[in-house]
C-alpha cells in the first residue's frame, strides 16, 4: 500500500476559488465543477481500487488529478487546463511509503499510441524486407569482380547471398524481426512491459481495445501483480470483467454522495446481466 487516501476539494472550496478569479473570459474552469460535491470527496484505497462511473462522472479526471499530485510518470499528454495546477493544490493525499520511480499512470491514449507505433514499426520492417529480397537477388545472380578495397562490402554481401537461402539472408540482414500483433495483443504487451514490481499504477479505462478474453488476461495480470509482487492499483473502468476482481474496493462516482458498491450492484453490470438473461435460452444446448 503506497497511496492510502486522497481528498478532493468540496463544492464550497471550488466556488470560493472561482469567485476569486477576476477574469471572466473562460467558458470552463476544468477540472473545477467536475468532482465537487457538498462535502469533500475522500477516497480510501486498497491494493486494488476501482473508480466506476458513466461518461462525465469524472473518473478519468480524478485519476489525472491524483497522478499530478503524486507527480507520476506518463507517456502521453492529457487534457490539462489553465486551472489544473490550482485545483491540484486544493487536494491532499496520504502516502505510506515513498513512491518507486516506476510508478505511473497508464491511459488509453498511451496504449493507442503504442499500438500505432508498433504498426508503423511493422510497416517499416515489411518495407525493409522487400528491399532485402531485391538485394538478395542482385547479390546472388549479378556479375561481380573485386576491383578495389571499396568493393569489399559488396563482396561480403555476394558471398552471404550465395551461401544462404533467400529467407536466411533476409533474416541475417534484417537483424530486427517484429512479429505482427493484433491490437489486443499489442495492448496486453504494453501492460506487461509497463507493470513491474512494488509500484503504484493508475489505469484509465485499460479495457479499451481489449476483447473479453484479453480483459480476463489483464485481470489476471493485475491480480497477480497486486497479490504476489507488491503492486497497488487505482483503476477507472466500467468493464464488468475487471470490476469482478475479488477483494477490490469499488467507488461509484455516479452516486451522490459517492458510495462503495459491490460489482453486482453497478448499473453497467446489471445491464449485461439483464441482456444475457433475456437470451439465456439461446445458449441452451
Pick from 64-68, 96-100, 124-128: least confident: 124-128
Model confidence band, residue 109 (pLDDT cutoffs 50, 70, 90):
confident
Three-state SS at 108: helix
pLDDT tens-digit readout, 142-185:
555 545 555 556 666 666 655 555 555 455 555 444 454 556 67
pLDDT recorded at residue 78: 76
Q: Could you tell me if 49 and 43 are in contact, meaning their C-beta atoms sit under 8 angstroms apart? A: yes
Q: Looking at residues 108-136, what average pLDDT do you find? A: 64
Pick from 56-60, 116-120, 131-135: least confident: 131-135
**What is the rounded average pLDDT for all residues in the chain?**
82
pLDDT recorded at residue 41: 84
Does the pLDDT of residue 26 top 80, yes or no? no
pLDDT tens-digit readout, 67-103:
999 999 998 877 678 899 999 999 999 999 889 999 9
Instruction: List the domains of the chain with CATH numbers.
Output: 3-103+199-283 (3.40.50)
Cell of residue 60, nine digits: 478519468
Q: How far apart are the first and last CA of the chain?
A: 47
Burial of 276 from C-beta contacts in 10 A (0-12 / 13-18 / 19+): exposed
Distance CA 237, CA 201 (A): 14
Helix locations, the chain, DSSP H:
11-20, 59-70, 84-89, 108-141, 152-163, 166-174, 183-194, 212-228, 240-243, 267-278
Amino acid at each position: 500500500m503506497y497511496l492510502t487516501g486522497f481528498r478532493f476539494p468540496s463544492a464550497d472550496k471550488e466556488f470560493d476559488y472561482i469567485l476569486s478569479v477576476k477574469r471572466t473570459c473562460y467558458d470552463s474552469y476544468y477540472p473545477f465543477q467536475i468532482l465537487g460535491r457538498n462535502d469533500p470527496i475522500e477516497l480510501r484505497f486498497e491494493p486494488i481500487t476501482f473508480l466506476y462511473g458513466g461518461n462525465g462522472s469524472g473518473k478519468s479526471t480524478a485519476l489525472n488529478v491524483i497522478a499530478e499530485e503524486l507527480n507520476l510518470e506518463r507517456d502521453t499528454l492529457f487534457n490539462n487546463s489553465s486551472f489544473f495546477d490550482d485545483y491540484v493544490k486544493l487536494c491532499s493525499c496520504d502516502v505510506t511509503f515513498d513512491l518507486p520511480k516506476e510508478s505511473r499512470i497508464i491511459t488509453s491514449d498511451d496504449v493507442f499510441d503504442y499500438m500505432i507505433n508498433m504498426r508503423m514499426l511493422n510497416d517499416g520492417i515489411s518495407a525493409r524486407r522487400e528491399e532485402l529480397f531485391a538485394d538478395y537477388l542482385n547479390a546472388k545472380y549479378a556479375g561481380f569482380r573485386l576491383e578495389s578495397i571499396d568493393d569489399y562490402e559488396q563482396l561480403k554481401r555476394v558471398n552471404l547471398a550465395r551461401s544462404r537461402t533467400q529467407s536466411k539472408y533476409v533474416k541475417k540482414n534484417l537483424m530486427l524481426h517484429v512479429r505482427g500483433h493484433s491490437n489486443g495483443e499489442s495492448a496486453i504487451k504494453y501492460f506487461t512491459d509497463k507493470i513491474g514490481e512494488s509500484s503504484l499504477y493508475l489505469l484509465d479505462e485499460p479495457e479499451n481495445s481489449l476483447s473479453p478474453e484479453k480483459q480476463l488476461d489483464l485481470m489476471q495480470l493485475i491480480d497477480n501483480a497486486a497479490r504476489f509482487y507488491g503492486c497497488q492499483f487505482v483503476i477507472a473502468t466500467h468493464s464488468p470483467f475487471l470490476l469482478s476482481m475479488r477483494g477490490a474496493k469499488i467507488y461509484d462516482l455516479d452516486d451522490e454522495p459517492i458510495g462503495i458498491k459491490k460489482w453486482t450492484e453497478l448499473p453497467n453490470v446489471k445491464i449485461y446481466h439483464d441482456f444475457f438473461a433475456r437470451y439465456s435460452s439461446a445458449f441452451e444446448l
